[in-house]
A and B are shown apart, each in its own frame.
Chain A
Amino acid sequence: MTKDIIMAGFGGQGILMIGNLLALTAMEEGKNVTYLPSYGVEMRGGTANCTVIISDEEIGSPVVWRPGSLVIMNGPSLERFLPNLQPGGELVINSSLVDARKVDRTDVRLFQVAADEIARNKIGSRQMASMIALGAYVALSGVVGLETLIGCLPKVISKKYERFIPLNVNALKEGAALAGIHA
């Protein structure tokens, strides 16, 4: 099985962080994985995206043009990536910032999560929005296990910020619960 995911949003939303976490988790589970950060002339406040491919087989191209899954954290990213999502693909949108009415395709599996609102009101930090979205995506797709994902958090969060690990755990669990898995 091969899963390819593009995650996209504003710079600063933690897109590269959740991509890294997912890649590391896949490696921990013994899978082949590639992670490719968006590459180009980017700036703070601009867009950020990354591509993660998880497979039981050797991975060829690390670049994906027609992804099987999308995790979309802001409006501009929806416009850019939705047209190329494969039919039947999973689409997680942050409905706090992405207008669900702009999803003009009926052949994809849409899941809306008001990640910014939940992050602020329930988790207590708006910065946790991307972790909520990742939790939801992992629960929906089953691409990696939620427990492994949580176990890998300390490996992507530096010592300096380790006091925030419990917040991240809560965010991942909240996202997963919204998508139907209760941990």
Chain B
Amino acid sequence: MSAPAAGAAKRVLAKGNEAICHGAIAAGCRFYYGYPITPQNDIPEYMAAHMAEHGGAFLQAESEVATINMILGTSSTGNRVMTSSSGPGISLMQEGLSFMVGSQLPAVIVNISRSGPGLGGIAPSQGDYFQATKVAGHGDAHLICLAPHSVQEMYSLTMLAFDLADKYRNPAMILGDAIIGQMKEPYDPVPYVPAVPDKPWALTGARGRAARHIKSMFLKDGEIEVHNWKLRDKFRKIREEEVRFEPYMLDGAKIGIVAFGTAARVAKTSIQSARKEGIEVGMLRPITLFPFPEEQVRDMASGVQKVLVVEMNTGQMVEDVRRSTPHHERIHFFGKPCAVPTPDEILEQIRLLAGRKG
């Protein structure tokens, strides 16, 4: 399926992975490099077929290690650039990501995650939460991390990821999974509102001006410490200004679910069923995983009797929920590693918390 024309009002039926490509191209990304891995191959397939017609370049690298260094190079010229991969490939990119955070270089990295550890399997999973939200390789480095739960968000959050990456000069990750990548759904191809800042740091050829340097190595006395504090201030600003979340049927809720991505999507079905049974349950869905909606989780947790964290792993985001609220005794966890929980399974957990028999 071709990308929708700019300004098209009609909805488009597309795979989540394709919508990422549409969003990236609409946001002005003209460089894509990658290496194949399931379940994200629709992305390089689309980019290989369509980048050239937009005057851009697609390149299949020899490995993910090469890919991320190509991304670093293109980003340093001030151009918007993207790659995509899945768990094992993202692991290989960690060194380059750390270099990019240190060098303050923007890019969008898509992780359509699969089951791990190791080669794991290709089943949908949210097991990469820690990797996506806590680190960017070594050093005191973070990625901005966005978690779409619909094809619409695969499109629009990809645009946002480019804007945030440029705004903060830091790599931004889209964290999806096999379900959200493979499913088709209509989305509204909202035109991109240009938000590309000037890039006075970009390497564009030094003729007629002073040379610029982009680097992550700072060896002079005290220099690296200063650099780390500067990055800390930047991450603090991101935490203060860029939190995004969706409150879902939280009015009057006595049970508050916290879930993201596909798990949140399934939880919506369970919440609708539970509400029909008279159980007052709602959900706070983090859209940004870094920055995590700490204040919103804190407020929600103080207003409900019980909090249910649902994840497609053995318990990762639940740690962020715990540190966001003092009401640890209210927090319950339901995990389904490397599988999609059924609406009935989540409903059963809701009923148990509500004191109802299944």
Q: Is A74 engaged at the interface, CB distance under 8 Å to the other chain?
A: no
Q: Residue on A with the closest CB to B263? A: A61
Cα of A26 to Cα of B220 in the assembled complex, Å = 63
A49 near B: Cβ within 8 Å?
A: no
Chain A residues with CB under 8 Å of B267's CB are 60
Which residues of chain A from 44 to 101 have any CB-CB distance to chain B below 8 Å in the complex? 58-63, 65-66
A interface residues, how many (CB within 8 angstroms): 21
Q: Which of A27, A35, A61 lies in contact with B265, CB distance below 8 A?
A: A61
* CB pair B186 A58 closer than 8 Å: no
Q: Mark B259-293, 1 if CB is under 8 A from A, else 0.
A: 00000011111111000000000000000000000
User: Which candidate, B82-90, B236-244, B336-344, is the interface stretch facing chain A?
Assistant: B336-344
Given A27-B13, A60-B343, A62-B265, check contact A33 B39 (CB 8 Å): no
Q: Which interface residue of A39, A40, A41 has the most chain B CB atoms within 10 A?
A: A39
> Known interface pairs A60-B269, A62-B265. Does A27 touch B182 (Cβ–Cβ under 8 Å)?
no
Determine if B183 and A62 form an interchain contact, defined as CB atoms under 8 angstroms apart.
yes
B183 touches A36 (CB 8 A): yes
Out of A24, A40, A41, A62, name the residue touching B13 (CB < 8 Å): A24
- Please report the C-alpha to C-alpha distance between residue A169 and residue B238 in the assembled complex, in whole angstroms: 55
Please tell me if the beta carbons of A63 and B184 are within 8 angstroms of each other in the complex. no
- Any B CB within 8 A of the CB of A13: no
Report the count of interface residues on B (CB-CB < 8 A): 25
B266 touches A63 (CB 8 A): yes
- Shortest distance in angstroms between B38's beta carbon and chain A's nearest beta carbon? 9
Q: Among the listed B39, B124, B184, which residue makes an inter-chain contact with A23, where contact means beta carbons less than 8 Å apart?
A: B184
CA distance A117 to B4 in the complex (A): 40
List of B residues within 8 angstroms of A34 by Cβ: 183-185
**In the complex, A40 Cα to B124 Cα: how many Å?**
10
Query: Of A24, A39, A60, which one neighbours B182 at CB under 8 angstroms?
Result: A39
Q: Which residues of A contact B343 (CB under 8 A)?
A: 60-61, 65
Is residue A168 contacting chain B, with contact meaning CB distance below 8 A?
A: no
B186 touches A27 (CB 8 A): yes
- Rounded to whole Å, the gap between the CB of B272 and the closest CB of chain A is 7
Q: Among residues 1 to 60 in chain A, which have CB atoms less than 8 Å away from a CB atom of chain B?
A: 20, 23-24, 27, 32-37, 39-41, 58-60
Measured between C-beta atoms, what is the minimum distance from B37 to chain A in Å?
A: 14
Please indicate which of the listed interface residues B13, B39, B340 has the most CB atoms of chain A within 10 Å of its own CB: B13
- Contact present for B186 and A33 (CB under 8 Å): yes
Shortest A150–chain B CB gap in Å is 17
Tell me the complex Cα distance, A34–B11, Å: 13
CA distance A36 to B11 in the complex (A): 18
What is the distance, in angstroms, from A64's C-beta to the closest C-beta of chain B? Answer: 9
Contact with A along B30-66 (1 / 0, CB 8 A): 0000000001000000000000000000000000000
Kindly state whether residue B141 has any CB partner on chain A within 8 Å: no
Q: Among residues 187 to 242 in chain B, which have CB atoms less than 8 Å away from a CB atom of chain A?
A: none
Q: Which residue of B lies closest to A50 (CB)?
A: B184
| Residue B331 lies at the interface, judged by CB distance under 8 Å to chain A | no
- Which B residues, 157 to 201, have Cβ-Cβ distances below 8 Å to chain A? 178-179, 182-186
B122 located at the interface, meaning its Cβ lies under 8 Å from any Cβ of chain A in the complex: yes
| A60-B268 in contact given A24-B13, A36-B179 (Cβ < 8 Å) | yes
Instruction: Considering the complex, give the chain A residue whose CB is closest to the CB of B339.
Output: A63
Are B268 and A61 neighbours in the complex by a CB distance under 8 Å?
A: yes
B residues contacting A by CB (< 8 A) are 11, 13, 39, 122-124, 178-179, 182-186, 265-272, 340, 342-344
Name 12 interchain pairs, CB-CB below 8 A, sorted by A: A20-B13, A32-B186, A34-B184, A34-B185, A35-B185, A36-B184, A37-B182, A39-B182, A60-B266, A62-B179, A62-B265, A63-B179
Q: Which residues of A contact B (CB under 8 A)?
A: 20, 23-24, 27, 32-37, 39-41, 58-63, 65-66
Told that A23-B184, A61-B265 touch, could you supply 17 new A-B pairs with CB distance under 8 A? A20-B13, A24-B13, A32-B186, A33-B185, A34-B185, A36-B179, A36-B183, A36-B184, A39-B179, A58-B268, A60-B269, A60-B272, A60-B343, A61-B340, A61-B343, A63-B266, A65-B343
